[in-house]
Amino acid sequence: MSPANWTNGSNDRCGEFDRRQPAARAAIRLLHNRLMLERRVWRDFVAVTFSVALLGLGLGSTLPLTALMLTAQGHGPDVVGWTTAATALGGVIGTFVSPTATLLLGRRRVMLGCLVLASASVVPLQYLNSLPAWFVLRFAFGFALAPLFVLGEAWINTLPGDAVRGRVVAMYTTSFTSCQVLGPLLTDWLSRSPDSAFLLCGGVFLLGAPGILLARDASEQAETTNAQTDPDAATNISWLGVLRIAPVIVAGTAFFAIFDNVVLSFLPLLALDYGFSQSRALMAASVVLVGDATLQFAIGWLADHYGRARIHLLCGVAVCLLLPLLPLLIHVPIAWEIYLYLLGGVAGAIYTLSMVASGQYFQGASLLRASGLISLTWNIASSAGPAATGVAMQHFGSAAMVVVLWLMAVVFVVVAQLNTRSNAAFTRDPRR
């Protein structure tokens, strides 16, 4: 072959390779989207998710157990609301402390220390009857949980690429909520052994330590996760900047924080008022959590394919339509369980997609601030919401619970609609 012919042949082959490159890149991107995460990233995801999910089991059992024990001691729903508020207030302080503590001690040490503190704040409830002591311990419990959620959720959000973030975050929230589902069931079993109930609850938190020890720390993950970050995501935005860019994150978190705490603490009490047995009343909260756990991946898939802002808003509208039906369906067999299942699913998706929004909008230091803002919002809403609900139920009856939740859902829908109009980044096609 002459040099000219060799050159022409080489150019033809190069041209053919160039023509094939888009198809090859598309095939690689499709394969990556189907796998969602690389193998070593899956290990980190499973380890962190396992540890944080066990917090769901501990939280899901401790909240209703506390409510039942206080009620058994003759206290009203207002006292239950104030103890829940003490937990949330501790979480607010813990949120502000966690960045400094992480800088000084490292993420892994902070999370392990918080697991120990969470356990140590639950076990003494077994032996103390003083309300002030309960408030202090519930405050310490919230203080311990906040850094765990801030660091754990920021950790999870750094792992997936933007095109699959909805599904990956949904798997995380599904795992967390699945353990929360077992919480009220565990409470029902523990309430039959009152001499050891809080001792066993405290031990649950320590089971999360192995996962934190196994997962790679931030420096080890940097090479993997940097390749998956969204180039449009903000990297150095202040707390107020996070709120200005994405108010829907705060609104969605505030709604679900109130919904989650109110349902776990007050739905069993509302069901008891309607004549339910204790086991069936606790089962109602579990059905809500089952819907939250099992519908997240499907809703995450819809968000990844049809627009996260659109699905986020539709979930809020669905909650607004479903909540007024609660007193109408509570005595309708089968329909009641289906109703609770759907309500839990769409309400939980509001929080899931708020987490997805934080990972899509922000990365680096800004993502940590967004996760901190989520935790801060969660704890403030968890403090004000149950306290207000408890007082309202004390004065206006159990129907007040539905009114509080419906008003919060309306606020979320309004904010989500305004955010969709003002921020095009959240509405772009996540597959591009």
Any domain includes 93: yes
Closest C-alpha among 111, 90, 93, 89 to residue 102: 111
Residues 6 or more apart from 427 whose CB is under 8 A from it?
307, 308, 309, 310, 420
| Residue linked to tokens 């979480």 | 91
Residue 359 inside a domain? The answer is yes
Contact 373, 254 (CB under 8 A): no
- What do you get for the CA distance between the two ends of the chain, in Å? 44
Burial category of 38 from C-beta neighbours within 10 Å (exposed 0-12, middle 13-18, buried 19 and up) = middle
In this structure, is residue 29 part of a structural domain?
no
Instruction: Name the phi and psi angles at 362, rounded to 5.
Output: -130, 160
Q: Look-up: residue for tokens 């996070």?
A: 242
Instruction: Tell whether 238 is covered by a domain.
Output: yes
What per-residue confidence (pLDDT) applies to 217?
A: 65
Give the chain's domain count.
1
Tokens of 370: 């967004």
Domain annotation covers residue 404 = yes
Rounded Cα–Cα distance for residues 270 and 326 (Å): 11
Query: Could you tell me how far CA 26 lies from the centroid of its own chain?
Result: 32
At CA 112, angle to CA 111 and CA 113, rounded to 5?
90
7 belongs to a structural domain: no
**pTM, full prediction:** 0.71
Closest C-alpha to 126, from 223, 199, 23, 201: 199
Q: Is 342 among the domain residues?
A: yes
> At residue 367, what is the residue type?
L
pLDDT tens over the chain, length 432 residues: 444 444 444 444 444 444 445 544 444 444 344 456 666 677 777 888 888 888 888 887 888 888 888 888 888 877 887 887 888 788 888 888 887 788 788 888 898 999 999 999 999 988 888 889 999 999 999 999 888 888 887 778 777 666 677 778 888 878 877 777 777 778 778 777 778 888 888 888 888 888 888 876 654 444 444 444 444 455 556 667 777 887 899 999 999 999 988 888 888 888 888 888 888 888 888 899 889 888 988 998 888 888 888 999 999 999 999 999 998 998 898 999 999 999 999 999 999 899 888 877 777 667 777 778 888 888 788 778 888 888 888 888 878 899 999 999 999 999 998 877 655 544 444 444
Burial of 240 (0-12, 13-18, 19+ CB in 10 A): exposed
- Decide if 19 is inside a domain: no
Query: Looking at residue 137, which CATH number applies to its domain?
Result: 1.20.1250.20
Domain that holds residue 407: 39-215+224-427
Give the CA diameter of the chain.
Answer: 99
